[in-house]
């Protein structure tokens, strides 16, 4: 079962946020007919909302892949202002039980979670999130190190137990390499940036 979740709140700091939200909604509909189609789509308004749907949709089926379309920062995935990051795996976190329930539905290392969000796998914070997520679920996860849009650069994936192969400075201007994880420093995607695909790609290229 292949699933797609997008941020349906219409909230965000993007200059053309209403247009961006509409593109996620329309694009998710088109992906039902894509060469690598998804089976179900959900517009979420919070991570509680998203995880509840992922845990309940087609309850007898195992999950092969999940794509999430929305906003991101280094090491974080957002639905409006609701943040999912490494703290979600800590005892007592309000979303931990939802994540444990979701883990029962994945197919182990054969399942892919793909965060089609800006810079989520960038910087040390992004690598820490990738490690924590894949080790918790025992699966593969993919994300980007650049700001993404029609072009989506810095796409990398990680399997449980492996170490990130990409640089912690990828997607960041050279002048900011020694600075802290300031999310404002992520570069926009481009044709010359590493590991670039377009928004029309429905799968992570082999070896990435």
**203 in a domain, yes or no?**
no
**184 in a domain, yes or no?**
yes
The answer for residues whose C-beta is within 8 angstroms of residue 2's C-beta and 6 or more apart is 36, 37, 38, 39, 64, 65, 66
pLDDT tier at 160 (50, 70, 90 boundaries)?
Answer: very high
Which pLDDT belongs to residue 15? Answer: 61
* Average pLDDT value for the chain: 91
pLDDT tops 70 at residue 5: yes
Distance CA 107, CA 130 (A): 18
Mean pLDDT, range 7-29, rounded to an integer: 78
**Quick one: tokens of 177?**
């390499």
pLDDT tops 80 at residue 78: yes
pLDDT tops 70 at residue 77: yes
Which pLDDT belongs to residue 176? Answer: 67
State if pTM tops 0.85: yes
Mean pLDDT, range 38-54, rounded to an integer: 96
**37 in a domain, yes or no?**
yes
Asked whether the beta carbons of 63 and 106 are under 8 A apart, the reply is: yes
Asked whether the beta carbons of 107 and 64 are under 8 A apart, the reply is: yes
**147 in a domain, yes or no?**
yes
pLDDT tier at 126 (50, 70, 90 boundaries)?
Answer: very high
**204 in a domain, yes or no?**
no
Asked whether the beta carbons of 8 and 70 are under 8 A apart, the reply is: no
Cα dihedral 112, 41, 52, 90, rounded to 10, equals 30
pLDDT tier at 181 (50, 70, 90 boundaries)?
Answer: low
Q: Domain span at residue 69? A: 2-198
When divided into structural domains, the chain yields a total of 1
**205 in a domain, yes or no?**
no
**32 in a domain, yes or no?**
yes
**183 in a domain, yes or no?**
yes
- Strands lying side by side in the sheet with 140-143: 40-44, 2-7, 65-69, 112-116, 140-143, 156-159
Which pLDDT belongs to residue 207? Answer: 92
């Amino acid at each position: 079962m292949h699933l797609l979740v997008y941020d349906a709140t219409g909230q965000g700091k993007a200059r053309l946020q209403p247009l961006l939200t509409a593109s996620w909604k329309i694009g998710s509909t088109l992906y039902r007919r894509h060469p690598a189609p998804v089976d179900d789509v959900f517009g979420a308004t919070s991570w509680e909302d998203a995880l509840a749907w992922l845990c309940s949709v087609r309850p007898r089926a195992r999950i092969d892949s999940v794509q999430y379309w929305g906003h991101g920062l280094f090491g974080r995935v957002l639905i409006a202002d609701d943040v999912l990051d490494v703290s979600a795996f800590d005892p007592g976190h309000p979303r931990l039980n939802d994540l444990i329930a979701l883990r029962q539905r994945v197919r182990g290392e054969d399942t892919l979670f793909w965060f089609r969000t800006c810079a989520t796998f960038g910087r040390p914070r992004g690598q820490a999130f990738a490690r924590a997520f894949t080790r918790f679920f025992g699966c593969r996860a993919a994300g980007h190190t650049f700001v993404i849009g029609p072009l989506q650069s810095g796409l990398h994936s990680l399997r449980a137990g492996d170490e990130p192969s990409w640089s912690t400075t990828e997607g960041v201007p050279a002048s900011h390499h020694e600075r802290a994880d300031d999310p404002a420093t992520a570069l926009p995607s481009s044709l010359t940036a590493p590991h670039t695909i377009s928004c029309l790609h429905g799968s992570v290229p082999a070896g990435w």
